[in-house]
Each structure stands twice: as structure tokens, then as C-alpha cells.
């Protein structure tokens, strides 16, 4: 992954994208792009945390890299985020599989398009935890996925309604 990030950074350097920008932001954007290419689920926030420049600068540099350095990056798959979030929450493998199944069903129905992958993963984990009895709060799930509680709440309600999932009353 590090080698790929270096290649991306070199491309940015050769095409003059670094001039006038923070080297740190461009390097962080290259790391983010490499993670996306290699399907390593990381958010801008996670990568920007290790820079002095903020999330906004890293995101801006990333968009510039994609446009100008001709880097092809696949869309993030929410399923890639599930094992990591599940591990943070210490959920069983059956609950994690249930969350993956929920997202696969949502994908087939076309209701994942345009949504934040980390938010979708968090919502699927929340639903799966309720269904399997390994209940985690929206706050715990949101913190593990590094999204807001509102995102978890909105996405889980949407998924449950459109997939017709009957949730246990709490």
C-alpha cells in the first residue's frame, strides 16, 4: 500500500500538483487514494488525523489527484467497512455476516448508491446487532464507524423500511 501511495505522490509531483499546496495534504491524499485502490477501508478523517492540515485540505487534494493525475479509484464498498467496525464493537462473526447480508440485499435493491459507505456499514451493523441480540447503542456504533449518531439513525431506518426488516422492540 505504501509503495502505491508513493507512486501516486510521484505522479502528482511530476504533473505539478504539489506546487502551491501543502506537501502533507498531497501525501495524505495519495495515501487515501492508495487505500481506496487496494480496498482498505479508511475515511478522510482517519487519514487527516495524522496531518496538520485538516480533512478539507486532504479531500481537496484527493479530488485534484483524481482529476489531474488520471488515477482510477474504485468506489468504496460499505461491506469492506463491516469487519473492522464489528471488531471494534467485539461482535460475533454471525452478527458480522448478518450485517454483510443486509448490505448485499440493499445493494441488489439499489438503495446504497450515493450514500456514505461508512454510514451504511454502521447502519447494517446496528440492525444486525439488534436482530442477533448483541445490542450496541447507536452512539457506540457511530463512534466505531466514525460517523454521527444521526447518520446511523437515518440509514438504519431507511434500510429497515426498504428491506422490510422487523426490528425487535427495545
pLDDT in tens, 92-111: 999 999 999 999 999 999 99
The confidence score (pLDDT) of residue 141 equals: 97
- Domain 2-68, second-level architecture: Orthogonal Bundle (1.10)
pTM: predicted TM-score of the whole model, two decimal places: 0.79
pLDDT in tens, 118-138: 999 999 999 999 999 999 999
Q: How far apart are CA 154 and CA 158, in angstroms?
A: 6
The confidence score (pLDDT) of residue 145 equals: 94
Every domain of the chain with CATH number 1.10.472.10 lies at 2-68, 78-162
pLDDT in tens, 8-43: 998 888 888 888 888 999 999 999 999 999 988 888
Residue 96 or residue 2, greater confidence = 96
CATH class assigned to 78-162? mainly alpha
pLDDT in tens, 55-100: 899 999 999 988 887 788 888 899 999 999 999 999 999 999 999 9
What 3-state DSSP class applies to 24? helix
Residue written as cell 422490510?
164
Q: How far apart are CA 58 and CA 63, in angstroms?
A: 9
Amino acid at each position: 500500500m505504501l509503495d502505491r501511495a508513493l507512486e501516486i505522490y510521484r505522479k502528482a509531483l511530476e504533473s505539478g500538483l504539489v506546487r502551491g499546496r501543502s506537501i502533507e495534504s498531497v501525501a495524505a491524499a495519495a495515501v487515501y487514494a492508495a487505500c481506496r485502490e487496494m480496498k482498505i477501508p479508511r475515511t478522510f478523517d482517519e487519514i487527516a488525523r495524522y496531518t496538520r492540515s485538516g480533512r478539507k485540505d486532504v479531500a481537496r487534494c484527493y479530488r485534484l489527484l483524481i482529476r489531474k493525475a488520471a488515477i482510477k479509484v474504485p468506489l468504496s464498498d460499505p461491506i469492506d467497512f463491516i469487519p473492522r467496525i464489528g471488531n471494534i464493537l467485539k461482535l460475533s462473526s454471525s452478527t458480522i455476516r448478518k450485517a454483510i447480508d443486509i448490505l448485499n440485499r440493499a445493494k441488489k435493491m439499489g438503495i446504497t448508491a450515493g450514500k456514505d459507505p461508512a454510514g451504511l456499514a454502521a447502519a447494517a451493523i446496528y440492525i444486525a446487532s439488534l436482530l442477533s441480540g448483541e445490542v450496541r447503542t447507536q452512539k457506540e456504533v457511530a463512534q466505531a464507524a466514525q460517523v454521527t449518531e444521526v447518520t446511523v439513525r437515518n440509514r438504519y431506518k431507511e434500510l429497515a423500511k426498504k428491506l422490510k426488516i422487523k426490528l425487535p422492540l427495545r
